[in-house]
Amino acid sequence: MSNSDCLFCKIIAGQIPAKIAYQDDKCLAFHDINPQAPTHVLVIPREHIASLKEASASLHNELLGHLLTSAAKIASDLGIAEDGFRTVINTGAKAGQSVFHIHVHVLGGRGLAWPPG
């Protein structure tokens, strides 16, 4: 279930501190250590899944939906939903993924350009 070499599994286990924004039985959300917007939170499943590429329809549909609805709730709770916020899942190093435990970035509190880089 968890991966002893994984940074985010260590945050879930409480071995590395993080500023928690939300948690429940399936997911944990914490503030990004290097925020790219005034509000930048990462929503992760408690279960270790390396990336969206490794997620399966038969096992993970409900969990992935839960991450997204939790992201919206967190955006609302943190006061960034009204003006708009962005959810991002980077998949693979070339797409910007640096931590291989799936996570949804939730960014808001400023205008966000499109397309991304």
39 touches ligand 5GP (CB under 6 A)? no
Name the residues annotated as catalytic: 103
Partner whose binding site includes residue 30, from ligand 5GP, Zn ion, none (CB under 5 to 8 Å by kind): ligand 5GP
For residues 13-27, b (16+ Cβ closer than 10 Å) or e, as one string? eeeeebeebbeeeeb
Count of H-run helices and E-run strands, the chain: 2, 5
18 touches ligand 5GP (CB under 6 A)? yes
Match 């205008």 to its residue by tokens.
111
71 touches Zn ion (CB under 5 A)? no
Residue from 21, 37, 41, 48 binding Zn ion (CB under 5 A): 48
